[in-house]
Amino acid sequence: MKMRTAILSVVCLVAVSAVPCCVLAQAPVPAAEQAELTQTVAALDTKLFEAYNHCDLKTLGAMVSDDLEFYHDQTGLMVGKAPFLEAIQKNICGKVERTLVPGSMEVYRLKGYGAVEIGVHRFHKAGDDKDIGGEAKFITVWQNKDGVWMVTRVISYDHESLTKQ
């Protein structure tokens, strides 16, 4: 029995020692590639929210996946393109506009998939640039499939009113 325990201990020690003591960081994305990716995602964000702000449901529909998952801190989870477009038409069109907070956008490559966009955006009454409205943080996952970029996941959270009380 002691021999069996000793052998098991040695086997465990060898197995544990074979595991690297530290994990190496992923190599950074080359600067030119990162710049191109950031420019691409910025253009996609602009196109998406131009459509959002002008109730262009055709363009919005072409830019989101059929299995879109949209997580919102106040309304919960919405799954699917059709419910998303219905919600935009009912709650956003002609009522709310969105702007990206300058300098807030971060873009990171998702190797073999696309990119993740992180930022802060502001919402105000449509057509009223003086309305202070509200602000929220967001994370958008963009899939690049055969050169076609689509939104697959969105998390919109930490919504706050910017109206002075």
Per-residue pLDDT tens over the stretch 55-100: 999 999 999 999 999 999 999 999 999 999 999 999 999 999 999 9
Residue 11 has what pLDDT?
37
**Band of the pLDDT at 20, cuts 50, 70, 90?**
very low
Per-residue pLDDT tens over the stretch 94-146: 999 999 999 999 999 999 999 999 999 999 999 887 888 899 999 999 999 99
Residue 25 has what pLDDT?
63
Average pLDDT, the chain: 87
pTM of the model: 0.81
**Band of the pLDDT at 29, cuts 50, 70, 90?**
confident
Ordered by where they begin, the domains of the chain are 30-161 (3.10.450.50)
pLDDT at 35 over 80: yes
b/e burial code for range 76-102 (CB count within 10 A of at least 16 → b):
eeeeebeebbeebeeebeeebbbebee
Using DSSP's 3-state secondary structure scheme, residue 114 falls into: strand
Per the structure block, which two tokens stand in for 106? 């971060």
- For residue 31, how many other CB atoms are within 10 A of its CB? 8
**Band of the pLDDT at 10, cuts 50, 70, 90?**
very low
DSSP per-residue codes, 42-59: HHHHHHHHHHHHTT-HHH
Do residues 65 and 152 lie in contact, with contact meaning Cβ atoms separated by under 8 Å?
Answer: yes
Do residues 15 and 8 lie in contact, with contact meaning Cβ atoms separated by under 8 Å?
Answer: no
Using the 8-state DSSP alphabet, how is residue 131 labeled?
A: -
Per-residue pLDDT tens over the stretch 39-59: 999 999 999 999 999 999 999
Do residues 79 and 59 lie in contact, with contact meaning Cβ atoms separated by under 8 Å?
Answer: no
Per-residue pLDDT tens over the stretch 144-156: 999 999 999 999 9
